[in-house]
Amino acid sequence: MTKPIRLMLVDDQAMVRAGFRMVLDAQSDMVVAAEATNGQEALDRLRPDPGAIDLVLMDIRMPRLDGVAATTEIMGFPSPPRVLVLTTFDLDEYVYAALRAGAAGFLLKDAGPEELLSAIRAVHGGDSVVAPSATKRLLEAVLPSLPGAADSDRDRLQALTPREHEVLIAVGRGLSNSEISAALFLAEPTVKTHIGRVLAKLGLRDRVQMVVLCYETGLVIPGDG
């Protein structure tokens, strides 16, 4: 029997945590193993055994320690759990910061139960961009007001082959593996191989950070694609 996905809920509102718990604990493949009211409490609970939690549902705006700082700290743990950011705000610069810090994606708090459950299963299964179009929209909104990429970020791109460069841009535009496969006339396993090589060469954690890098370096510009 497959082990259930062990979840931690991090939110300063008790009613929000209770609502999520009711939905999540009703699933045969999920269990809420821990809760925290702020980022610092989440770190304190995770630090002794980060591997005890598979996925953290992380609020952004909390007292004491916010979700961005907490995500940054969690990513420094050995074998850290994946982090799915939850926000009330559709276009929130804090979410962008959390994605840069290593969060696997983000979801609006008013998402329906099925969308929440699908997102959790997708992130746990290794997918990173929960909603590519939403992530793209977020980046388009906040990136113009943020500092540009360092020259070192652009220099890293020179390590890529022309095909890897094409795949990186396609990911940055929010295309799924199947869409990239069709657009570039590649088999899906080949697309996955290219993505793995891009991640390794550029020192990126996941697909989300590929999207972020594309926007920061100008490979994809707001409104592109």
Residue 202 pLDDT:
93
Instruction: Give the residues across from 84 on adjacent strands.
Output: 57, 105
What pLDDT is attached to residue 155?
82
Domain of residue 190, residue span:
148-217
Rounded distance, CA 225 to CA 13, Å? 38
pLDDT of residue 163: 97
Report the 10 Å Cβ neighbour count for 147: 7
Q: How many structural domains is the chain composed of?
A: 2
CATH number where 113 lies:
3.40.50.2300
Q: What is the pLDDT of residue 143?
A: 63
Residues 6+ away with beta carbon under 8 Å from 53: 6, 7, 8, 33, 34, 46, 81
Ranges of residues in the chain whose predicted pLDDT is under 50? 130
- Contact partners, residue 85, CB within 8 Å, separation at least 6: 58, 59, 60, 67, 71, 95, 98, 99, 103, 105, 106, 107
Can you give the pTM of this predicted structure?
0.74
Mark whether 104 and 24 lie in a shared domain.
yes
Summarised one tens digit per residue, pLDDT across range 7-39 is 999 999 999 999 999 999 999 999 999 999 999
Does one domain contain both 121 and 179?
no
Residue 181 belongs to a domain with what CATH number?
1.10.10.10
Over the Cα atoms of the chain, what is R_g? 17
Distance CA 34, CA 56 (A): 9
